[in-house]
């Protein structure tokens, strides 16, 4: 698969050209419809939303997709690492190609993701000149190197009761990103591995505030 073959859900903005583009990456075992239904609740009608489908079929669900596989213990195998490399390359090249198709420059393009999609957001986004990164119940890949250039600002939102991606993962990600000199906004909620309406409020404010700079 190449970046031109990504399956997409596109929600257009109510203005042309859009004020910006927001890319949202779904989690492990979900698909692009999982987050696509949330678009109206972000209350950012002047932004175009793009929801790409995962590169690989999920092993345990007929309709699920993934960016890479896990073992039962959440560890990466050689197969997982190879899949991650493929998803990294395709997503990175696709995001960089977006200005040619959307008319929106990268500095007004946002990358966001939930869970494994949040991990992919950090994986590719820290090295791209995008407007910002939004990580919802996600994590930083343990072997992710320090960015080689100025990274975009990052919003991390996580639930204290998350039993899929534990809260210490988000806290350690915030700490390491801050050590790297990345601007990080961090917020915890009393929730599990989910997205509640209050989270969307935080995301909307983050986008609005950074868009004014």
Summarised one tens digit per residue, pLDDT across range 75-103 is 677 888 899 999 999 999 999 999 999 99
Strand (E) positions, 107-171? Answer: 109-114, 132-136, 154-159
Asked if pLDDT for residue 212 goes beyond 90, the answer is no
pLDDT of residue 105: 96
Asked if pLDDT for residue 211 goes beyond 90, the answer is no
SS3 161: coil
Q: Which long-range contacts (CB under 8 A, 24 or more apart) does 190-193 make?
A: 190/159, 190/160, 190/161, 191/159, 191/160, 191/161, 191/162, 192/159, 192/161, 192/162, 192/163, 192/164, 193/115, 193/137, 193/159, 193/162, 193/163, 193/164, 193/165
- Give Cβ neighbours of residue 1 (< 8 Å, ≥ 6 apart): 55, 90
Alpha carbon distance 14, 53 (integer Å): 23
How far CA 65 is from CA of 142, 150, 169, 207, in Å, comes to: 22, 32, 23, 27
pLDDT in tens, 173-202: 999 999 999 999 999 999 999 999 999 999
Closest by Cα among 44, 66, 46 to 55: 66
For the whole model, what pTM was predicted?
0.93
Contact at 8 Å (CB) between 31 and 53?
yes
Give the dihedral sign, CA 70/23/210/150. positive
Task: Considering only residues 62 and 154, tell me which one the structure prediction assigns the higher pLDDT.
Answer: 154
pLDDT in tens, 19-69: 999 999 999 988 898 888 889 999 999 999 999 999 998 877 788 899 998
Report residue 5's pLDDT band, with 50, 70 and 90 as the boundaries. low
Asked if pLDDT for residue 70 goes beyond 80, the answer is no
pLDDT of residue 142: 85
pLDDT in tens, 104-150: 999 999 999 999 999 999 999 999 999 999 999 999 998 889 998 89
Domains and CATH numbers, the chain: 3-211 (3.40.50.1820)
Asked if pLDDT for residue 4 goes beyond 60, the answer is no
pLDDT of residue 59: 78
Asked if pLDDT for residue 3 goes beyond 70, the answer is no
pLDDT of residue 6: 86
């Amino acid at each position: 698969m190449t970046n031109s073959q990504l399956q997409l859900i596109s929600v257009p903005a109510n203005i042309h050209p859009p004020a910006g583009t927001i890319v949202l990456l779904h989690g492990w075992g979900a698909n692009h419809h999982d987050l696509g239904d949330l678009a109206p609740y972000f209350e950012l009608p002047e932004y175009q939303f793009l929801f790409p489908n995962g590169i690989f079929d999920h092993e345990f669900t007929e309709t699920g997709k993934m960016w890479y596989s896990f073992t039962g213990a959440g560890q990466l195998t050689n197969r997982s690492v190879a899949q991650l490399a493929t998803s990294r390359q395709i997503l990175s090249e696709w995001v960089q190609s977006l200005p040619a198709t959307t008319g929106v420059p990268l500095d007004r393009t946002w990358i966001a993701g939930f869970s494994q999609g949040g991990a992919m957001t950090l994986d590719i986004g820290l090295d791209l000149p995008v407007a910002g990164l939004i990580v919802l119940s996600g994590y930083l890949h343990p072997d992710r190197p320090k960015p080689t250039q100025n990274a975009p600002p990052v919003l991390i939102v996580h639930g204290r009761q998350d039993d899929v991606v534990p809260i210490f993962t988000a806290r350690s990600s915030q700490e390491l990103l801050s050590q790297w000199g990345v601007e990080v906004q961090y917020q915890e909620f009393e929730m599990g591995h989910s997205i509640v309406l209050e989270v969307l409020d935080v995301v909307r404010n983050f986008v609005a505030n950074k868009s004014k700079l």
